[in-house]
């Protein structure tokens, strides 16, 4: 067996609607919101490219799940064709504090330029551009 790609990851959020709105507004993801059958919590599916991120409410994770799902424990890197300057402008327009960057990094495809910031749950997000 050889793995061919990544289909989705799951983030645990304090407030699913807040997290989903952030990813839609800042990163342009398409968001589908859902409610559990008892209407006691919400979850989201956020689509970008050919992947998605599922967002589960802390304390209401789906089974099976990670052993210790925790808001703010993820470190995700997204790839964009936008220039680092365009990414910086987008983040500044959205009022997002930039932690670091643009800085050179090495990714799965080689040399890239990255910019780091955090989402509402304090997950570390990296936007990378390959030259």
Q: In which band, very low, low, confident or very high, does the pLDDT at 32 lie, cut at 50, 70 and 90? A: very high
CATH code of the domain made up of 74-131: 3.10.180.10
The answer on pLDDT for 36 being more than 90 is no
Q: What is the pLDDT of residues 41-55, one digit of tens each?
A: 899 999 999 999 999
* pLDDT confidence tier of residue 37, bands split at 50, 70 and 90: confident
Which of the 8 DSSP states describes residue 29? -
3-state SS of 6-24 is: CCEEEEEECCHHHHHHHHH
How far is it, in rounded angstroms, from Cα 13 to Cα 19?
A: 7
Domain ranges of the chain: 1-71, 74-131
Question: What's the chain's average pLDDT?
Answer: 96
Looking at residue 74, what is its pLDDT?
97
Mean pLDDT of 87-95: 98
Confidence of residue 56 (pLDDT cuts 50, 70, 90): very high
- How many other C-beta atoms can be found within 10 angstroms of the C-beta atom of residue 19? 25
Mean pLDDT of all residues in 107-122: 98
Q: 43: which residues sit within 8 A by CB, 6+ positions away?
A: 16, 33, 34, 35, 36, 54, 55, 56, 57, 60, 62
- Residue 61 is a catalytic residue: no
Are 1-71 and 74-131 in the same CATH fold? yes
- Bridge partners (DSSP) listed for residue 94: none
Instruction: State in words which class domain 1-71 has.
Output: alpha beta
Q: Which of 63, 85, 111, 126 is catalytic?
A: 126
**Count of C-beta atoms within a 10 Å radius of residue 29:** 20
Cα(46)–Cα(55) distance, integer angstroms: 8
């Amino acid at each position: 067996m050889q793995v061919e790609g990544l289909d989705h990851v799951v983030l645990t959020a304090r407030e699913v609607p807040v997290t989903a709105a952030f990813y839609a507004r800042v990163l342009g993801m398409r968001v589908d919101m859902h409610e559990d059958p008892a209407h006691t919590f919400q979850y989201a599916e956020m689509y970008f490219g050919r992947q998605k991120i599922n967002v589960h409410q802390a304390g209401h994770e789906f089974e099976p799940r990670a052993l210790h799902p925790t808001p703010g424990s993820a470190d995700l890197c997204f790839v964009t064709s936008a220039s680092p300057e365009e990414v910086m402008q987008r983040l500044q327009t959205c009022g997002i504090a930039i932690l670091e960057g643009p800085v050179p990094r090495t990714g799965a495809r080689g040399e890239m330029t990255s910019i780091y910031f955090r989402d509402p749950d304090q997950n570390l997000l990296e936007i990378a551009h390959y030259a």
